[in-house]
Amino acid sequence: MQIEMQKLFDIVKEGGALFRNREEAARIRVKGLSDYVTEVDFHVQELIRTRLVQEWPQVQLMGEEKDNSEIDFSKAVWILDPVDGTTNLIHDFRQSAVSLALYDGGKPVCGVIYQPYTEELFHAVPCARGGRSKGECGAFLNGKPIHVSNAKTMGESLISIGTAPYEHEYADRNFDLFKRIFLDCQDIRRLGSAAVDLAYVACGRTDAFFEMNLKPWDFAAGRILVEEAGGTVTDFAGNSPDFRKKGSILGSNGKIGELLVERYMNF
Ligand code: IPD
Ligand code: CA
Ligand code: CA
């Protein structure tokens, strides 16, 4: 299956434009511990769902704010996080993104992450699938090819962390890990959007990002971006993650991911 990417860009930009509605962002519902959803999340999902159905009626949608129990992953499926970084959105912290990926028959077809505040649109189309000419496949930021960093040592690395904010039972383990890594790298960052974190690894702004127990919509698009930008995405043991399931995610330029698994993540 091939997608006319410009159509997808227009759709995610239309969704991202809704982030600026501060009244809707203030209409908040609590989903669980530290876990919120706003009217913006629902509005963005509904708009994108409608547009996707108009263009590609045969493709299923897995979305954070809907029931996904009927999804058949052996067929084509969009994986959408309408607002990745809802807590940031509530605080007008300006680090949130629309994240949308397409998988077909278990294989990635394309991924898009749109950051409306900076108007940065990241996208990736896997080259491995063939049939695409040079310049059409790979990873891009606003249409220009991007690549992961060249960092080879912890001492030259800037590393982004995710705190698994909805699962405080892992806080001791997580913060111990953050401390050990912090002491060896240049510094750590906590952006508050896993999609943006992975997009930043893909374009070399950071050298690695990791977080326990992410959901498919948090990493589905970012994973394609990092891999097409020359990096790797694994779980904390260095194995390939399952895009259909919740799991721990480590995206990196490759080398720094290897170091993190070897030296810090062998709990
Ligand atoms: C969250 C963000 C956050 C990460 C959480 C995610 P949401 O997504 O990506 O950075 O720490 O694990 O659930 O809830 O804002 O879509
Ligand atoms: Ca998310
Ligand atoms: Ca979300």
At residue 130, the pLDDT reads 60
Q: Decide if 82 contacts 44 (C-beta within 8 A).
A: yes
Closest ligand 1 atom to 96 CA: 15
Paired tokens of 199: 């997009």
Distance 138 CA to ligand 3 centre (A): 26
**Which residue minimizes the CA distance to atom 16 of ligand 1?**
84
81 marked ligand binding residue = yes
Q: Could you read off the pLDDT of 108-137 as tens digits, one per residue?
A: 999 999 999 999 999 999 998 665 666 789
CA-194 nearest atom, ligand 1: 9
User: Model-level pTM?
Assistant: 0.97
Model pLDDT for residues 146-175, shown as the tens digit of each residue: 999 999 999 999 999 999 999 999 999 999
Question: Looking at residue 103, what DSSP letter applies?
Answer: E
Q: Quick one: angle between helices 5-16 and 39-55, nearest 10?
A: 160
* Ligand 2 center from residue 81 Cα (angstroms): 6
Ligand-binding annotation for 64, yes or no, is yes
Q: Which one, of 186, 187, 161, lies nearest residue 175 by Cα?
A: 161
**pLDDT at residue 267, as a whole number:** 60
Q: Which of 198, 264, 265 is nearest to 233 (CA)?
A: 198
User: Each residue of 83-101: pLDDT tens digit?
Assistant: 999 999 999 999 999 999 9
Q: What is the CA radius of gyration of the chain?
A: 17
The annotation status of 119 as a binding-site residue, yes or no, is: no
Q: What is the pLDDT of residue 32?
A: 85
Which atom of ligand 1 sits closest to the CA of residue 215? 13
Q: Average pLDDT for residues 59-86, to the nearest whole number?
A: 97
What's the mean pLDDT when you consider all of the chain? 95
Ligand 3 (single-atom ion) residues, CB below 5 Å: 64, 81, 83
Ligand nearest the Cα of residue 246 is: 1
